[in-house]
Structure 1
Amino acid sequence: MKLWGYSKKERDAGEVRLIELAEASLLATPAELRRIAAFLSDAADNMDCMGGDYDHEHLGDRQPGFEDSPHLVVARAK
C-alpha cells in the first residue's frame, strides 16, 4: 500500500503536484470512521468483482456527507 496526496494550499492555488505521503491522519467522528470503513469494504468488494477493470472510487461519490471533505480516493495497486 502507498499513500499519495496533494497539498491543500498548492491545490487551491492551481499548482497540483501529486506527492507520496509518509503518514496520513484522520480527524473524524466515530460515525464518520464507520462510514469510511464501509466505503473501504465496498471498494474491496468492487475490486474483487471487477478485477483488472477496477480503476478507482471516491469516498465523496459513495458516502453522503463527504462531498465537501478532502477527497479520499481508493485505487487498485498494479
Structure 2
Amino acid sequence: MDKKTIYKISKKYRAKRVLLFGSSLKPEIESRDIDIAVEGILPKDFFSYYGDIIADFPRSFYNNYRFFFNL
C-alpha cells in the first residue's frame, strides 16, 4: 500500500486529516504494517473505509494476519 492509495480512499470518505506514523515512515526499516490515524470520517462509514484500506494490502499481509491470530 502506498500513500497515493491511502489518499484516494481517504478522499472518497471525505476524511479531514490522515496521519501516517510508525515504522512505515522509515525507509531503512522493512515495515510489516501501516499505522494511520484518521479524522473526519462519519461513524457510519468507518467499517467501509477500513475495508477499502485493508482490501488494498498485499496478499502477504493476510498471511501474516492469519498467522498472528491463528485463523
TM-score, scaled relative to structure 1: 0.26
Report which of the two has the higher share of helix. Answer: 2
Structure with more relative contact order (C-alpha pairs < 8 Å, separation 6 or more): 2
Q: Over alpha carbons, which structure has the higher Rg?
A: 1
